[in-house]
Amino acid sequence: RKVVEKELIPSWLRLSNHNIIKFLHHLDVGNSEQNFKVGQQMSAPSGALEVIFKDIAFQDLVKNFQYLDQRKLVPVEKLTPETALYWRVLIQFLSKEAADDGHLDELRPELTPFCDYVRSYVLSATSSAHNTTVGGGG
């Protein structure tokens, strides 16, 4: 485990040009998170992110996450399994590790806009799926 944390993960991040989204893409987040079982401690990509986060100052973690709009939401065009996981794990990590110093407030959206965002996303996804099924193509 220590070799993975101290050698392997930093090496993979370097090979990804220190781009966390690219790093997560190489870890195949879409499939690994789907196969994650409830009750497990955390998925491999989530654990890898926490290892990376441990060596970065909290304010730098927040500053480096450049995917939020003014509502503190990831715009739909930037929403991927990688950005969603990055955002979720970053908030969870700061919730556990950071003293209440305002860093979470920079990342967490207000409840009502977040609920509207999720609702809009789900409705557009189900509408797209329905149109693909009914229309015979996309």
Q: Considering the entire predicted model, what is its pTM?
A: 0.83
- Position of tokens 């407030």? 105
Measure the CA–CA gap between 136 and 7, rounded to whole angstroms: 49
The tens-digit pLDDT sequence of the chain (138 residues) is 888 888 899 999 999 999 999 999 999 887 776 665 566 677 889 999 999 999 899 989 999 999 999 999 999 999 999 999 999 999 999 998 876 678 888 999 999 999 999 999 999 888 877 676 655 554
Query: What's the per-residue H, E or C state across the chain?
Result: CHHHHHHHHHHHHHHCCCCHHHHHHHCCHHHHHHCCCECECCCHHHHHHHHHHHCCCHHHHHHHCCCCCCCCCCCHHHCCHHHHHHHHHHHHHHHHHCCCCCHHHHHCCCHHHHHHHHHHHHHHHHHHHHHHHHHCCC
Sign of the C-alpha dihedral computed for residues 98, 101, 107 and 110 taken in this order: positive
Measure the CA–CA gap between 61 and 128, rounded to whole angstroms: 35
pLDDT digits (tens, 9 = 90+) for 94-134: 998 876 678 888 999 999 999 999 999 999 888 877 676 65
40 DSSP β-pair partners = 38
